Amino acid sequence: AIATAPEVFQQPTPPPSDSRVTGSTDTHVADPREVKRMDVDEEISPRDMLSPISAEGDKQEETDLPALPVTDLCSTSMGYEFSNVRLLPSSPSSYLRAGSKFRGTQQSERQVYEVQVEIKHVDMRESFLCGYLRIQGTNWRLTEDHPTLTTYFEGEIIGSKYTFLTQHQDWGSNDKVDLQHWAKFAAFRPFQKAARKGHFSIPNLAQRDNIFMRWKEHFLVPDHRVRTISGASFEGFYYICFNQIHGTVSGIYFHAKSEKFQQLELKHVEDRGCFAAMEFR
């Protein structure tokens, strides 16, 4: 038991024969082993400062700690509306991954545009990726009100889930247009006959030199409510051939009302081998 008098730790202990509390300077100590508080100025080893009760308690705490499941290490439930299950990176290379940036040009017969792309998320299991695409004129304004445009885009990775034939009627393409655009890529030739059939799968997709995709812009960033802009359009989509060896992106922009076969050429921006695990939500 701990005495209530504030001076208890500054006065000597009374003789054992006197068990009464005689004043503010005297106290009764029932058992020295039960005393847990001691004067910090006394010269005593740290081992002696622990009472048998506290020592047993520490031992019990060590033995009673439950083993933390592996799933708990990957979940951080903080009351947010998002799922508490974290996504594991599934990038096939150090180029095609969340956080990668690419820079280059989009060229038509009349104009050359500067383009920057930042990948925000890649999921090979779902044949999906997304990111931001920024485009601006070279030494001229893209439009009177928008010198640059940044859009959010999503990509379909051709392989197990998507084929070379576009399945979105509102994108304005058809089978003939698809095959005409894919034929512009030399890496497409081994798949040309199978692509006409529509339904086929590309095995070991992540291990191939080239990965084919479709990139579709959806809205402006940061104001996602803007869908159309006077003097510019992002209603089309890109046929993409990504080279995993060199980290290059070759693409062709398609829109029914735009100039045909606009070339997109991008190169990976060096980041000194950084390979962070990122999750875009």
Model pLDDT for residues 162-187, shown as the tens digit of each residue: 999 999 988 999 999 999 999 999 99
Model pLDDT for residues 27-77, shown as the tens digit of each residue: 444 454 444 444 444 444 444 444 444 444 444 444 454 554 444 444 444
pLDDT band per the 50, 70, 90 thresholds, residue 203: confident
Residue 243, pLDDT above cutoff 90: yes
Model pLDDT for residues 70-99, shown as the tens digit of each residue: 444 444 444 446 556 555 555 667 899 999
Identify which has the larger pLDDT, 232 or 12: 232
Residue 241, pLDDT above cutoff 90: yes
Place of tokens 């009177």: 144
pLDDT band per the 50, 70, 90 thresholds, residue 216: very high
Sequence-ordered strand ranges (E) for the chain: 101-107, 112-123, 128-137, 148-157, 210-220, 237-243, 248-254, 262-268
Residue 212, pLDDT above cutoff 60: yes
pLDDT value of position 54: 44
pLDDT value of position 222: 83
pLDDT value of position 224: 74
Residue 145, pLDDT above cutoff 60: yes
* Distance (Å, whole) CA 1 – CA 51: 12
Give the angle subtended at the CA of 164 by the CAs of 216 and 212, to the nearest 5°.
Answer: 65
The pair of three-digit structure tokens given for residue 94, joined into one six-digit string: 């150090």
The set of residues, in sequence order, having a beta carbon less than 8 Å from that of 89 and lying 6+ positions away, is: 97, 98, 122, 277, 278
pLDDT value of position 179: 96
* Sequence ranges of the domains in the chain: 1-65, 101-268
